[in-house]
Structure 1
Amino acid sequence: MWLPMLIKRLNYTDMQKQGLQLTAEEIYSVNNSSLKDAIVQFGGFCTGEFISPEGLLLTNHHCGYGAIQSHSTTEHDYLTDGFWATSKDQELPNEGLFVDILHHMDDVTGKVLEGIDNNTPEEQRAQLIAQRTQALAKEASENGKYVTYVRDFFNGNEFYLFVYNRYNDVRLVGTPPSSIGKFGGDTDNWMWPRHTGDFSMFRVYMAPDGSPATYSKENVPYKPAHHLPINIGDKEPGDFSMVFGFPGRTKRFMTSHGLKLEVNQLNKSRIKLRNDKLNLWKEEMDKDAATRIKYASKYASTSNYYKYSIGQNEGIKRMRTIEGKLVDEDKFQNWANADASRKATYGNVLSDIADAYATIEKYNLGSVYLNEAVLGTESLLMAYRMAPLYNALKAGNKEAAQKAAQDLKPRVDAFFKDYYKPADKKVFAALMKYYYEDIAKDQQPEYFKNLVKKYNGNFNKLADYVYSNSVVVDEQKLNNFLANPSQKALENDPAFQIVNAIIENYRNNIAPKVAESNAKLDKANRLYVAGLRLMNPDKVYYPDANSTIRLSYGAVKDYSPQDGVLYNYYTTLDGVMSKEDPNNEEFVVPAKLKQLYQAKDYGRYANSKGELVTDFITNNDITGGNSGSPVINGKGELIGLAFDGNWEAMTGDLVYDPDYKRCINMDSRYLLFLIDKFAGAQNLINEMTIVDSNSPGAGDAAKAEAKTPQAELLNAVVNEAQQNLQNGKEEFKIEKKKGDVKVKLQIKD
């Protein structure tokens, strides 16, 4: 997961050997159009890419799921039926949805760490770093023109500044029905072979002057500096592939102590709590179509990492990951002890890590259950959102209270749009019972323990009391309260009392102990990573993922999950039909797709064998946040859309497995087939640049066009103009001539 600005220095030669045909500048450039300009962070949680000069954006179906669901009703069920805008005026706006497009990034390590060394007290270090990173981000924002932040890398050993343009007008353009976009459902999630058409399409809009703007009918389609051509040629094992996107978080420098905590507390608890919640939701979803629509997005989101946690625990055991970490740690300790100066700096690092985790383990379960059980219950999460209002009322600040109440109203509307009280009530009873039974009694607030005692440990009766008396589970009551809020009403509200008591108890009695250990752990981890890099000077390390833009490169590749089994590198529409089960919502096949299959009406999207390829795999390194990332060939053309990882490599956030790690991708040909043949959205096909590398000389036409004298001169003029503008020139003339071709540009302030 490489930082794109460092590709030229760290990876370019290796990438060329593996099949890259682009220059490093064509991948990442500040001054010229490059691949990075086609990549966006979608909504802050996924990746998307531009595939037309008119701002047409591609991402996963599951990334667009919330937006699709928000427009779905029982009358217009876009989740079930799909949606396609045949003209731009039919595209649907999505309040709150945004995309961030990287403008540039800079290494600011020297500025952040100036005067700071290993002897700087941790509290002082943290304060200085916070002040400096905030100042650097604020300066780079140019008074709010850009979205900016500084992130740390290698556990606080390096720092980089990221500068983004944010566009807030993002409209839904098209989506296949969930029977295609989620084909295989939870059964196939994290599994290979797959046959899922996991995509949705949006369009980014801007103000007429080209600046970012909120939704307006006057806005026009965004003109990306670069969009990806789509290649529909065959793929073979060993073909170069790269994934450009925003991986969420990895912890690959984590020691054996941290891994044990992940396996035995975090994953084990997540599996237990989410299993019950999912089952209780599903009971209600199966009873009623409206409830199914309301909970569809929440169910999918909750299920994703439920299954992931199961796979990760199994993978860590299979790979003997903890045992491998122990071997690495022994080598580190021997290296540190072999030199007096190294021992002084690094000798106690591993013991400090062990001590910190011993304390964290004692209190960590309370933190896990706070997120998974307490705030994982809808009513308690809504009650928690009342905290700013309560604090303003308590402080007697009427103006702040009025604003807090006003800020809550849109959240209340969104909450009740997708809320079903009977389902939430069952979840509350189940999860609160687990909280009471599993968390050490001296870590629970007295109010909660007394409440449980009052109802003799009967959590169904406790749920009856809470859901009969709390305003947060009744839309009318809650809106009436917000129209005239009072401190006393909240203090008498059982849902607010429960969540407030648990959080206050955590903040006052648990968080300080955890924070102290985390500070010790942060310093030890920082030194451990610094020592590892010093111990292995010839090894090129990449930093852990932290939701910043990264590039992974590899190849199309099959794999063997177990002895005697070999998984092919691609699947076809034949597999969709083989899996079809009209009685199982996860494996329903739309009638039109069956008709196209039976007629073998694949058009130009069949491979050279006449098959319609649905999905394929590569060994690219991805994780959560990479969903929707483009899979790009050596020529910079889109060949697929990353949407999942495989079950055998669920350890990916903690350790990379070169033998088993696979990136599961929707094939570009299935994508275009569905848009063209299935949806009949020829208007969208016409926007795209489609390349067929199976045809003789294919791809050369686009390349030749880019190298015509006109194009070469135009690029030269644009590059020089950009440089002049960056250097502050307000007026200048540029004139280029080649043969009988002349390009002139004059800029006046």
Structure 2
Amino acid sequence: MKKTLLLLSLVAAPALAGEGKWTPQQVLELDPAWLRAQGLQVSPKKLWDPKRGTGLLAGAVNVGGCSGAFIAASGLVITNHHCAFGVIQEHSTPQRDLITQGFLASKREDELPGKGSRVQVPRSFTDVTKTVLAAVPADADDITRYKAIERKQKELVAECEKRPATRCQVATFDGGVNYTLVDAVELTDVRLVYAPPRAVGEYGGEEDNWMWPRHTGDFAILRAYTAPDGTSAPYSDKNVPYKAEFFFPLATQGVKPNDFVMVLGYPGMTYRALLAEEMAERQSRLYPRMRDVFGEAIRILEAEGEKDPAGKIAVASQLKGLHNVYKNSGGQLAGLKRGHIVEKQREAEAAVAVWAKKAGAKWQPALDARAALLVEQSAIAKSFDREFLLAASSRLARGPALAVVVSRLAAERAKPDLERRPEYMEREHVRIKDRLERDQKNLFLPAERQLLLAFVRRAQALGAEERIAAVDKHFGKTFSEKDVLAKIDAMYAGSKVLTLDERMKMATESVGQLEARKDPLLAFGLDLAKEQAALDEVKDKRQGAALRLRPEWRKAVLAHAGKPVAPDANSTLRVSFAKVQGYAPRDGAIYTPQTTLSGMLAKHTGEEPFDVPEKVSKVAEAKRFGAWQDKKLKDIPVNFLSDADTTGGNSGSPTVNGKGQLVGVNFDRVWENVANDFGYNPDVARNVNVDVRYILWMLDQVEDADVLLRELGVRKGPPVAGETR
């Protein structure tokens, strides 16, 4: 009887404790008794207050495509080392290699500003579904539907952003079932306070990436600043640290197996709402092609970077991103196969279809929508190769990518702001400028030459119906390595696109002015931009069809579930409830949920990627653990696992305990869990976190960052004004 009552009390709870990236609003829909039973010790209303539109969850912030968290009222933000990598690279030179050596500001004046770095603090979430859908004309065709919805989203964002220092978006949930206006304060003065040496922040490198056991100190500390009156402001030596209303104190006791944790952040994209056949297309074509194209780019960048110390620094950021995508795509393929995810999705769809048919005419539109979506998917597959290569071009050679940006910026600037593509509207110009400037650090001509050669080779191998006209025009229709390299050399030699001052001038010019330059690389970019713009129109029409059809099907799926269902990730604030636990990846193997300093030293070979920095190894080998030793492990915990539901974008997410204290920083998933994007599997759904005690050990025993530790509240005594060490 007691068991029956317990089951009844959990009706509004998710079926699996770790499953679900819940929105702030949904947290209040979950059964408080279930949350308490899991280990939540604060009131759900403390996590999110619907009257104020904020709460403890707002301590988790968006850090430019990653997540982060305030860990002190004085604007300190913790995130991943790889999320702060751009700032570290920006200030690195062969003479002062902060990537390799790490960085600790001795006082606040020494903290390093990050060009284009931003922190967004969530302020409110407003349901605007009725407003958005009311903007669609009756009997609108698909392209009209898409344009009407996009325009209304732009109008809502423009109205929201009339307030200064505000960044807004209209987020789409469940394929168009719901639209939510997200309002955030944007802080634009963000500075690097601490980054460990690369051999700590990336310990294990690509060999350990996505793997377990792990011993990686993937964390960094930033600080957000404002004007003296508390308003957001660009970098100035007069600025003061941001006063954070919500932050996560550090839990110096850390975690132990089976402890309750929450992972908060901004997961990017998941694909659980896709139809089985859409998933199958990604499995059969998209991920294999990503492995092929980006794998080649990685080999080129590594080979060219090894020839020149400055070149190695220049390609480091691009190489890091490509490595991550490459290995992720391999994990997706392995996980889709191992978990039989496509087959399970087919079964789930079939169950919804049977239910819908029994329910009568009410759900017939949902069945019709599913059938129409399958027809749309079949049509898209026919032009896959050309579309993939056009999209991938922006991740390969930087020269053509920069030429495309200034070309598209010029074309879009000629339109009224609300008619421009969202990524080229006036509100994005500061970001575009930052990117055009920041990419100067990523340019390395020998790598450029080989990357563009590889792109042209692939484009010239496309079939007659899939040609990229810009490539045919500038490089010919048949491949000859000697001829193409000669044309590339001439193109770069005669171009000013790679010259920063000239590129910034180009960003202010019209299409006519750009054409008048007679710059060969820019001319290629102008032609490539036209093809990308035409493809965008095709994709808009497809998206219009999806916005017409997918909501009908998703409504049936949600009704069939009969309980709260967390929507796919879409870069908005979410929370996942979890437990610290290990897993069994395969027959005969059982992984414990914690790793230690001793395990890190056991991996040490003295060569990359397992080369523990001397200043770290000396302290570790001497067992100078300080106050951070785990009594049961008799060691310093380095990383731990939990069964949180995470994905890309959760990098840097705060992992907090039931009291709202920070116990770790999420930075990865295990290899067997990569395909979690398509479906949650409780047996292998594990995310990887840096243990807060390792962070504190590094700051205390290795770096002697006494004042920073006092500022973080883990050492007695007030911090010295103006200092971080």
Identify whether the pair has TM-score above 0.5, normalized to the shorter chain.
yes
CA change 1:184–1:237 in 2 (3 A) is same
Matches within 5 A, 1:331-730: 331-342=351-362, 344-373=364-393, 376-388=396-408, 391=411, 413-437=437-461, 439-446=462-469, 448-449=471-472, 452-453=475-476, 457-470=479-492, 479=501, 487=513, 492-505=518-531, 507-508=533-534, 512-536=537-561, 538-583=562-607, 585-609=608-632, 610-690=634-714
Q: What is residue 187 of structure 1 aligned with on the other side?
A: 207
Secondary structure of 2:681 counterpart? coil
Cα distance in 2, alignment partners of residues 166 and 640 from structure 1: 25
Q: Normalising to structure 1: TM-score of the pair?
A: 0.85
Matches within 5 A, 1:2-41: 2-29=22-49, 31=52, 34-41=55-62
CA contact (8 A) 1:356 1:518 kept: no
Cα distance per residue 1:575-615 (max 9 Å; x no partner): 111111223x2111111111111210010000003211100
CA change 1:112–1:187 in 2 (3 A) is same
**Residue identity in the other structure for 2:472:** K
Secondary structure of 2:385 counterpart? helix
CA change 1:310–1:122 in 2 (3 A) is same
**Residue identity in the other structure for 1:642:** N
CA contact (8 A) 2:102 2:196 kept: yes
**Residue identity in the other structure for 2:621:** Q
Cα distance in 2, alignment partners of residues 634 and 222 from structure 1: 26
Secondary structure of 2:124 counterpart? strand
Aligned residues: 679
Secondary structure of 2:388 counterpart? helix
Cα distance per residue 1:139-168 (max 9 Å; x no partner): 444444522222121111112121111111
CA change 1:49–1:410 in 2 (3 A) is closer
CA change 1:116–1:185 in 2 (3 A) is same
CA change 1:458–1:188 in 2 (3 A) is same
Cα distance in 2, alignment partners of residues 533 and 480 from structure 1: 53
Secondary structure of 1:254 counterpart? coil
Query: Displacement, 1:94?
Result: 1.6
CA change 1:187–1:381 in 2 (3 A) is same
Query: Displacement, 1:226?
Result: 2.1
Indicate the larger mover: 384-393 or 621-630.
Answer: 384-393
CA change 1:612–1:131 in 2 (3 A) is same
Q: What is residue 719 of structure 2 aligned with on the other side?
A: none
CA contact (8 A) 1:379 1:472 kept: no
Cα distance in 2, alignment partners of residues 672 and 51 from structure 1: 13
Cα distance in 2, alignment partners of residues 238 and 140 from structure 1: 43
Q: What is residue 698 of structure 1 aligned with on the other side?
A: none
Cα distance in 1, alignment partners of residues 482 and 646 from structure 2: 42
Gaps of 5+ in 2: 1-20, 416-425, 717-725
1:287 to 304, 307, 312: 307
Cα distance in 2, alignment partners of residues 100 and 405 from structure 1: 17
CA contact (8 A) 2:186 2:232 kept: yes
Query: Displacement, 1:323?
Result: 0.9
CA change 1:235–1:480 in 2 (3 A) is closer
Sequence identity percentage: 29
Q: What is residue 702 of structure 1 aligned with on the other side?
A: none
Cα distance in 1, alignment partners of residues 502 and 365 from structure 2: 61
1:146 to 166, 171, 176: 166
Cα distance in 2, alignment partners of residues 113 and 350 from structure 1: 20
Please report the RMSD computed on the Cα atoms of aligned residues, expressed in angstroms.
3.0
CA change 1:244–1:414 in 2 (3 A) is closer
CA change 1:46–1:406 in 2 (3 A) is closer
CA contact (8 A) 2:135 2:148 kept: no
2:74 equivalent to 1:54: yes
Cα distance in 2, alignment partners of residues 20 and 447 from structure 1: 57
1:65 to 68, 85, 105: 85
Query: Displacement, 1:237?
Result: 2.3
Cα distance per residue 1:211-244 (max 9 Å; x no partner): 1111111111111112211112253322101011
Cα distance per residue 1:279-301 (max 9 Å; x no partner): 11101222222111111111101
Secondary structure of 2:664 counterpart? strand
Cα distance in 2, alignment partners of residues 11 and 471 from structure 1: 65
Cα distance in 1, alignment partners of residues 436 and 255 from structure 2: 49
Query: Displacement, 1:263?
Result: 1.5
Gaps of 5+ in 1: 396-402, 693-749
CA change 1:534–1:240 in 2 (3 A) is same
**Residue identity in the other structure for 1:440:** G
Cα distance in 2, alignment partners of residues 137 and 394 from structure 1: 21
**Residue identity in the other structure for 2:692:** S
2:175 to 145, 155, 160: 155
Secondary structure of 2:688 counterpart? strand
CA change 1:348–1:373 in 2 (3 A) is same
Cα distance in 2, alignment partners of residues 155 and 87 from structure 1: 48
Q: What is residue 739 of structure 1 aligned with on the other side?
A: none
Secondary structure of 2:42 counterpart? coil
CA contact (8 A) 1:352 1:520 kept: no
Q: What is residue 256 of structure 1 aligned with on the other side?
A: 276
Query: Displacement, 1:14?
Result: 1.9
Query: Displacement, 1:16?
Result: 1.0
Secondary structure of 2:547 counterpart? helix
CA contact (8 A) 1:394 1:487 kept: no
Cα distance in 1, alignment partners of residues 430 and 580 from structure 2: 52
Cα distance in 1, alignment partners of residues 72 and 431 from structure 2: 37
CA contact (8 A) 2:79 2:220 kept: yes
**Residue identity in the other structure for 2:72:** S
Cα distance per residue 1:417-445 (max 9 Å; x no partner): 321111111111122212222x3322214
CA contact (8 A) 1:377 1:427 kept: yes
Cα distance in 2, alignment partners of residues 318 and 351 from structure 1: 27
**Residue identity in the other structure for 1:58:** I
Q: What is residue 318 of structure 1 aligned with on the other side?
A: 338
Cα distance in 2, alignment partners of residues 549 and 338 from structure 1: 37
Indicate the larger mover: 142-151 or 674-683.
Answer: 142-151
Indicate the larger mover: 251-260 or 32-41.
Answer: 32-41
CA contact (8 A) 1:618 1:663 kept: yes
Query: Displacement, 1:345?
Result: 1.4
Cα distance in 1, alignment partners of residues 159 and 90 from structure 2: 37
Matches within 5 A, 1:79-98: 79-98=99-118
Cα distance in 2, alignment partners of residues 568 and 105 from structure 1: 39
Q: What is residue 11 of structure 2 aligned with on the other side?
A: none
Secondary structure of 2:711 counterpart? coil
Secondary structure of 1:62 counterpart? coil
CA change 1:37–1:413 in 2 (3 A) is closer
**Residue identity in the other structure for 2:61:** V
